[in-house]
């Protein structure tokens, strides 16, 4: 008999759990797109988004996913033949590079694998060697959703400054925005990317591009950007509501976004970061106990290099896939696949899986997922250490 009756639970790293408040805000008839409440909220939305990103800069809102944000970030400041440097730490760094190459942009890849963050010494070496400053931008992934590696954006800015290199610093914060601490202005990012379906707790369909004055200056040097991707038309030059979206607005997504931003403001971004820190450490505490006398292992060894939004894990193949299937069928819990984690020994990533703990999450939700995972390990006779859920509970009970 299946134990998956009742409400299913999605513990993947996006789309994340949507709050009832967000769903209720979206559950309404189609609004007037020419006047009234919808058209009056744009300044409220842009101000709220910039507060989350910790920037005094501007933001453009696009109808699209994270891949759309990648393309928008590139076409506004780069042109075919330009060179970008990508310090990749997982699947998504390579993905951003693929979008760049498709646009005719040259890519210099600095691959750090899938277990370690960017090595600042190697990065500095490459930047210092570029004496002609051919590298126009450094494309850094703050949190790689596949590997769960968290990179130090502030340290990358410091390397650029020490090397006296003028390249733009572009930060992919799609997995990290409103989960892991990110401070665009204080850390020196010129462009930051985000999307609606993770820490911002809104259904997939919106992406956001934050940009500062240096990035705006770079935009002025680009002769031609398509009307759809041009961020100027969605910010500085927009006079009518529809121009912010290059046509009909994503009406119900905007109502949901406004409610999500209200929730974020009520809790406070510092408190949100602290909550994600506590929940992540509870997950890691459980994983540490499971790994004793067992096959489970965390993908990233050093906690300081781990995302607070997602944890990437490994079992012996094919146990990652077996565990995911059992949990979905018997517990009603869906874990993330081992995206981008294929190896010669495990070409189908059947040993890898991910636990998402981003956005609208709390202690009882995380304990429920961990308890379900423990049940799966028992049911499938996968060797593991004992006391994991108890360790997670102690971590949650510990004073911050």
37-56 residue pLDDT tens: 999 999 999 999 999 999 99
How far is it, in rounded angstroms, from Cα 52 to Cα 3? 39
pLDDT above 50 (res 311): yes
Do 210 and 191 touch, CB atoms closer than 8 A? yes
Position 115 confidence tier, pLDDT thresholds 50, 70, 90: very high
Mean per-residue pLDDT, 277-290: 98
| Lowest mean pLDDT segment, chosen from 62-66, 153-157, 269-273, 291-295 | 291-295
Please report the beta strands in the chain, taking only residues with DSSP state E, as ranges in sequence order.
9-11, 58-63, 83-88, 106-111, 135-141, 168-172, 191-195, 206-211, 297-298, 310-314, 333-337, 352-356
List strands edge to edge, sheet with 58-63.
58-63, 206-211, 191-195, 168-172, 135-141, 83-88, 106-111
User: Residue 377: CB partners within 8 Å, gap ≥ 6?
Assistant: 290, 294, 296, 323, 384
Mean per-residue pLDDT, 377-399: 96
pLDDT number for residue 238: 81
Of 385, 374, 363, nearest to 326 (Cα)?
Answer: 374
Of 323, 294, 289, 320, nearest to 393 (Cα)?
Answer: 289
pLDDT-above-70 percentage for the chain? 99
Rg of the chain, C-alpha, whole Å: 21
pLDDT number for residue 239: 84
341-364 residue pLDDT tens: 999 999 999 999 999 999 999 999
Do 118 and 140 touch, CB atoms closer than 8 A? yes
pLDDT number for residue 4: 67
pLDDT-above-90 percentage for the chain? 94
Q: How far is CA 317 from CA 38, 106, 273, 322, in A?
A: 50, 37, 34, 9
Take residue 132 and report the two structure tokens written for it.
């002609």
How far is it, in rounded angstroms, from Cα 192 to Cα 210? 5
pLDDT above 50 (res 313): yes
User: Residue 85: CB partners within 8 Å, gap ≥ 6?
Assistant: 108, 110, 126, 127, 135, 137, 138, 139, 167
Mean per-residue pLDDT, 193-215: 98
Q: What angle do CA 126, 132, 133 make, to 5 degrees?
A: 65
CA dihedral of 241, 245, 251, 257, whole degrees rounded to 10: -100
pLDDT number for residue 1: 47
Neighbours of 396 (CB within 10 A): 17
pLDDT number for residue 31: 95
| Cis omega (within 30 of 0) for bond into 103 | no
How far is it, in rounded angstroms, from Cα 382 to Cα 15? 28
How far is it, in rounded angstroms, from Cα 50 to Cα 361? 22
Of all helices (H) and strands (E), which one includes residue 39?
Answer: helix 37-40
54-90 residue pLDDT tens: 999 999 999 999 999 999 999 999 999 999 999 999 9
pLDDT number for residue 3: 66
**More confidently predicted of 35 and 2:** 35
4-18 residue pLDDT tens: 678 889 999 999 999
- Average per-residue pLDDT for the chain: 96
Mean per-residue pLDDT, 285-295: 95
pLDDT number for residue 293: 87
pLDDT number for residue 2: 62
Furthest C-alpha separation in the chain = 67
pLDDT above 70 (res 376): yes
């Amino acid at each position: 008999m299946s134990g998956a009756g009742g409400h299913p639970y999605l513990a993947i790293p996006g789309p994340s759990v949507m709050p009832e408040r967000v769903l209720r805000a979206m559950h309404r008839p189609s609004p007037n797109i020419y006047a009234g409440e919808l058209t009056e909220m744009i300044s409220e939305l842009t101000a709220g988004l910039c507060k989350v990103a910790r920037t005094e800069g501007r933001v453009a809102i696009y109808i699209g996913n994270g891949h759309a944000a990648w393309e928008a970030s590139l076409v506004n400041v780069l042109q075919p033949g330009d060179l970008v440097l990508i310090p990749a730490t997982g699947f998504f760094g390579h993905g951003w590079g693929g979008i760049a190459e498709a646009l005719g942009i040259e890519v210099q890849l600095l691959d750090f694998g899938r277990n370690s963050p960017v090595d600042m010494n190697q990065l500095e070496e490459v930047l210092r060697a570029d004496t002609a400053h051919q590298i126009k931008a450094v494309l850094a992934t703050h949190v790689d959703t596949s590997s769960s590696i968290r990179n130090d954006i502030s340290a990358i800015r410091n390397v650029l400054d020490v090397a006296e290199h003028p390249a733009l610093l572009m930060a992919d914060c799609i997995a990290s925005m409103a989960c892991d601490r990110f401070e665009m202005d204080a850390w020196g990012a010129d462009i930051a990317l985000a999307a609606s379906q993770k820490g911002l707790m809104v259904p997939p369909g919106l992406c956001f591009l934050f940009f500062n004055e240096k990035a705006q200056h770079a935009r002025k040097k680009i002769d031609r950007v398509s009307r759809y991707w041009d961020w100027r038309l969605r910010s500085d030059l927009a006079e009518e509501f529809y121009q912010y979206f290059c046509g009909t607005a994503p009406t119900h997504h905007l109502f949901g976004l406004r409610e999500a931003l209200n929730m974020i403001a009520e809790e406070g971004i510092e408190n949100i970061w602290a909550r994600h820190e506590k929940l992540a450490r509870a997950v890691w505490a459980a994983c540490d106990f499971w790994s004793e006398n067992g096959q489970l292992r965390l993908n990233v060894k050093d906690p300081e290099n781990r995302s607070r939004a997602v944890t990437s894990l490994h079992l012996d193949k094919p146990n990652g896939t077996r565990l995911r299937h059992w949990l979905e069928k018997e517990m009603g819990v869906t874990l993330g696949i081992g995206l981008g984690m294929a190896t010669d020994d495990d070409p189908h990533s059947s040993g890898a899986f991910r636990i998402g703990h981003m956005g609208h999450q709390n202690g009882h939700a995380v304990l429920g997922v961990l308890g379900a995972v423990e049940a799966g390990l028992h049911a499938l006779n996968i060797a593991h250490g004992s006391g994991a859920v108890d360790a997670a509970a102690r971590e949650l009970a510990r004073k911050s």
